[in-house]
Amino acid sequence: MRAGDQKLILLHPRSVQDVGAPTKQIAITVSISFLALAIAAAPAASNASPETPKPEASKPAKGPVIEGERFGSRQIIDSQQEGLIVGVVSVPETWRFGSQVVWNYAHHSNPVAISMSVENPLNEEALFSFPALQLFCLRPISSYYQPGQNVGGLIFAEQQAPAQILATFAQRTRGGFPKFQIAGSKELPGLAVALRQPPAQNQSGVGVKVTYELNGKPVEEEFYAVSYSVSIPYDGPQGRTWQINWGLNCLHSFRGGLGTLDKRRAVFAAIAKSFRPNPAWIQRKLAIDAYLAQEFNRQLRAGYDQIAAAAQLSRQISANNDAMVASIDRQLAASRNSAGNSAGSTSRNSADNFDDYIRGVDTVNDPYYGTSQHASTEQYHWTDGYGSYRNTNDATYDPNQSEVGSWRMMTPAR
């Protein structure tokens, strides 16, 4: 959930307990813009004339090499939505990759949780991405809900400071390992921008560093998140009350041997910033969100309170899951047909761009073929207009200075 969303009753599957005393402040040596780093590992630029593949036979090139790690693409698959690809991420080719996409339609405001792990088989290095931690509380303070109670997918908990709730999460996630210790925390004001989060009030980045032993070896792990807090007014028979939706978005961590994270930060940053969502999956999620919200509100209008409405919605979907899926399929098919018949439908769309990303190619305007595709590992694509190409990462390279013909740089196809 983005911090600007104003919804009642959201999602998180865990309860929250206090860690204890506030964590001490230390300097976590992390670049604020670690997800907005320039890809330092892009292949070295070359002005040599490469072989010229035919555009229709273009194959995705191997990924960049960062700190000695050759990168390749991995897909996050949603098995509950007919194997639809959620998105792709670039990871070291030899590292173990795993992801999980879990739908719970009873959690009507945020029905899907996505997690991911990327682990180096040779040592303790790993990157983990966790589902968002989404909570709520009420003002004036009310005893109607119990701490830790799941209401439509959102956990009832009194609000805590961002560093405290992130430390809570880190302790719940890693506290069972030997010699676990919270080393400290740090505010990261630029983290939301680095993670391309839309700006919102009460939004802040935070990091927490922990140490523990893994398989008898000392490790360190840095947890990162963007906290949010949204106050939603409600005017009812008892006057104005407020629901405060709060929690942590963009929840992820980097792990490595004790004292090694700084040396390998470029690898972790390249993984974390590489995710690209599949527009088709986003469209499907939005359709499911709309369907669940509509059905939940219908239960409310029928006279159920929120808890009973959520329970009724869960029973209804369990009994009619196939009907719900069929309804959403019809909506999406109608939307695609409408888009296909609209003016300008011959232009490329976000789905085309996503397909290019998966295959590791750039599609460019080509005076010889109309469009052609070239390896995305090189940024600049030149043609002489007669089916010959020069691809490079050198922004100053110009084949007109060294070759016969009239060369021009091709522009991305739109």
- Summarised one tens digit per residue, pLDDT across range 160-209 is 999 999 999 999 999 999 999 999 999 999 888 888 788 888 999 999 99
Residue 33 is assigned to a structural domain of this protein? no
Residue 38 is assigned to a structural domain of this protein? no
Q: What is the DSSP string of 285-347?
A: HHHHHHHHHHHHHHHHHTT--HHHHHHHHHHHHHHSHHHHHHHHHHHHHHHHHHHHHSTTTTS
Show the domain range for 376. Answer: 360-409
CA distance linking residue 315 with residue 292, whole number of Å: 13
Number of domains in the chain: 3
Residue 370 is assigned to a structural domain of this protein? yes
Confidence of residue 109 (pLDDT cuts 50, 70, 90): confident
Cβ distance 337 to 323 under 8 Å? no
CA distance linking residue 195 with residue 132, whole number of Å: 14
CA distance linking residue 377 with residue 391, whole number of Å: 9
Residue 86 is assigned to a structural domain of this protein? yes
Residue 45 is assigned to a structural domain of this protein? no
Q: At how many degrees (to 10) do helices 321-341 and 279-301 cross?
A: 130
Beta sheet of 276-277, edge-to-edge order: 65-66, 69-78, 84-92, 276-277
Note the pLDDT of residue 22: 35
Note the pLDDT of residue 341: 55
Cβ distance 291 to 103 under 8 Å? no
Residues 188 and 268 in one domain: yes
Q: Where among 241, 260, 278 does a domain terminate?
A: 278
320 versus 133: which is more confidently predicted? 133
Exposure on the CB side of residue 9, measured as CA atoms within 13 A: 19
Residue 40 is assigned to a structural domain of this protein? no
Residues 124 and 175 in one domain: yes
Note the pLDDT of residue 352: 76
Residue 238 is assigned to a structural domain of this protein? yes
pTM of the model: 0.69
Average pLDDT, rounded, for the chain? 78
121 versus 317: which is more confidently predicted? 121
Residues 114 and 227 in one domain: yes
Residues 205 and 298 in one domain: no
288-324 pLDDT, tens digit per residue, is 888 888 877 776 666 656 656 666 666 666 566 666 6
42 versus 379: which is more confidently predicted? 379
